[in-house]
Amino acid sequence: MKNRVFIFIAVCSMALFSCQNESGLSGEIAKLEKEVESSPTVDGVNNLVTKYNQYIKENPDDAEWNGRYLYRAAAKQLQTNNLRGTVQFLNDGIKRFGTSSATPNSIYLLAETYKNKFRQTDQAEVYYQALVEAYPSNPYAEKAKGNLKDSKTLSERIEVIKSDIYMDSTQTRVNPNKARNLVDMYMLHASLLPDHPKSPMYLYDTYEIANSVRMFRDAAAACEKLYKDYPEHEKAPTALFLTGYLYENELKDMDKAKNLYTTFLEKYPENEFAKSAKFALDNLGIPPDQLLEKLKKNNEGK
């Protein structure tokens, strides 16, 4: 019964976000939504999600509607019992488009999914607490409070999760699944509570944990958010350099890396990483074997 109730909540909440100009791609989405509403088949849901993703790709700065569409995608995945897809879309919407009016609904649905589908009460409480702290006046905040067993803050709950990610007492090997969960928690905190004193360092911690488990896009996104949102923070220059490094060496986007290294040298010409940034900029795209040969010739010429 509880499962039906919170799926009903998800579907009803979609109606709150249903007003948009129904022309072009938005019109195609509205038409597909009506079709899927009357007959929620897996193929229909997949086609609708494809359209949502197309809109997000074509309108990356439309945080309001991108957040709404990711929430709707999650609700539809839930209707077809695709729990992995549900969690993925909700987390994506919260992390990438946190300013959307759909964000409180996304947080609540995520908490309910962990509680009622995965039976992970502790994980659910993290999201309930996030909703209470970030949106205290939201109607769902009162419901969230009723699901909390203690008075721990969001950052205190995150510290508990952090203490449990290591596989041994040396704290050198992390559990990949727990590390990924911690990355989501760090980004959740930074997205919802940007003025909290711990948020900047949570972003840097995100880089370190995500990089260790090869979540390179998350690592780059965290660094990028750190240097853009907290330009005066002590880790901002390092975060900018590391973003360039990740795009060059892990994500293989040389144009993006070039722009980042150039920006870094313009803003921080005296920084300890300036020489490394200049070296990387001068040798972007050169294969390792050719780079070694180039360095060898340079040394021989000295």
Q: Evaluate whether residue 296 is within a structural domain.
A: no
CATH number at residue 109: 1.25.40.10
Q: Evaluate whether residue 266 is within a structural domain.
A: no
User: Rounded CA gap, 297 and 105, in Å?
Assistant: 60
Q: Evaluate whether residue 236 is within a structural domain.
A: no
* DSSP label of 159: H
Could you list the residue range(s) of the whole structural domain that residue 105 is in?
1-151
* Predicted local distance difference test score (pLDDT) of residue 10: 54
* Predicted local distance difference test score (pLDDT) of residue 279: 92
Residue 143: exposure state from Cβ atoms within 10 A (0-12, 13-18, ≥19) = middle
* Predicted local distance difference test score (pLDDT) of residue 292: 76
Q: Evaluate whether residue 116 is within a structural domain.
A: yes
* Predicted local distance difference test score (pLDDT) of residue 19: 54
Q: Which of 113, 116, 62, 110 is nearest to 90 (CA)?
A: 110
Q: Evaluate whether residue 64 is within a structural domain.
A: yes
* Predicted local distance difference test score (pLDDT) of residue 8: 47
Mean pLDDT, the chain cut into blocks of 10 residues (302 residues total): 50 52 82 88 90 96 96 92 94 92 97 95 94 96 95 94 82 85 93 95 96 95 96 97 97 96 97 95 84 70 56
User: Rounded CA gap, 45 and 250, in Å?
Assistant: 33
What distances in angstroms separate CA 135 from CA 97, 144, 146, 198, one per listed residue? Answer: 15, 11, 15, 18
**Amino acid, single-letter form, for residue 56:** I
**Is the full-model pTM beyond 0.85?**
no
Find all residues with CB under 8 Å of 95, minimum gap 6, and list them.
Answer: 184, 187, 188, 191, 221
Kindly give the residue spans of alpha helices, DSSP state H, lying in the chain. Answer: 2-16, 24-38, 42-58, 63-79, 83-96, 103-116, 121-134, 139-145, 154-162, 176-192, 199-212, 216-229, 236-249, 254-267, 274-282, 288-300
* Predicted local distance difference test score (pLDDT) of residue 52: 96
Q: Evaluate whether residue 98 is within a structural domain.
A: yes
Judge contact between 251 and 229, C-beta under 8 A: no
For the chain, the domain total comes to 1
Q: Evaluate whether residue 237 is within a structural domain.
A: no
Q: Evaluate whether residue 162 is within a structural domain.
A: no
* Predicted local distance difference test score (pLDDT) of residue 5: 45
Find all residues with CB under 8 Å of 148, minimum gap 6, and list them.
Answer: 125, 128, 129, 132
